[in-house]
Copies of this chain bind each other. A is one copy, B any other.
Amino acid sequence: MVSLALIHYPVYNKGGDVIASAVSNLDLHDIARAAKTYGIEKVYVVTPLLDQQSLVKRIVGHWTAGAGGRYNPDRKKALELIRLAGCLDEVITALESRGQGRPIVVATDARPQAGGIGFSDCYQMLKSGRPVLMLFGTAWGLAHPVIRAADYILEPIFGPTDYNHLPVRSAVAIVLDRFFGH
């Protein structure tokens, strides 16, 4: 019972200002395909910008109800996981409304955060069966208030180098594989 939220606001830009980032077509496809691979329930695309919401609807509609789905049914199965939300609270309310309680909210960030939990501790929690919502930030990452408001902060992904600049698309794929791959 794990869902993802891809957050476009509030996130940081390169200069450290809080912005609403643009939706990326490739993010939607790649994250939906990883989510479908690893048994994720829903992928919430969170943006308050109406033009960006329209874009998400157009992309998802093309692949679920339109010509894209007939051309590529596998893509349709992945994009069908996507839901639109104007803000994070809306996502939490939607998950709560299913009667299984408030989801545990796990933030992710490329920077190590005080009080972050490791992948194995997080995995134990995921196995508990309670609904879990994992947050992934676009642009230069989730704004601190979102991270601080989460129930848990997952430790960053590291390889054997100090290079720490993965695209959010890749971060989602890696995190899901660490939890659910075999």
Taking a contact as CB atoms under 8 Å apart, the answer to whether A39 and B159 are in contact is: yes
Within 8 A of B (CB), among A150-182: 157-161, 163-167, 169-170, 173-174, 176-178, 180-182
A residues sitting closer than 8 Å to B (CB atoms) are 14, 26, 29-30, 33-34, 36-39, 72, 74-75, 77-78, 157-161, 163-167, 169-170, 173-174, 176-178, 180-182
A169-B30, A178-B181 known; A78 vs B163 contact (CB < 8 Å): yes
- Given A34-B166, A37-B165, 17 further pairs, Cβ under 8 A: A30-B167, A30-B169, A33-B166, A33-B167, A34-B170, A36-B163, A37-B157, A37-B159, A37-B164, A39-B159, A75-B165, A77-B163, A78-B165, A157-B177, A157-B181, A158-B182, A174-B174
Of A164, A165, A177, chain B has the most CB atoms within 10 Å of the CB of A177
Query: How long is the Cα–Cα vector from A23 to B49 in the complex, in angstroms?
Result: 32
- Closest B residue to A27 by beta carbon equals B26
Query: How long is the Cα–Cα vector from A14 to B182 in the complex, in angstroms?
Result: 27
* A170 neighbours in B (Cβ, 8 Å): 30, 33-34, 169-170, 173
* A36 neighbours in B (Cβ, 8 Å): 161, 163, 165
What is the CB-to-nearest-CB distance from A15 to chain B, in angstroms, rounded to a whole number?
12
* A173 neighbours in B (Cβ, 8 Å): 166, 170, 173-174
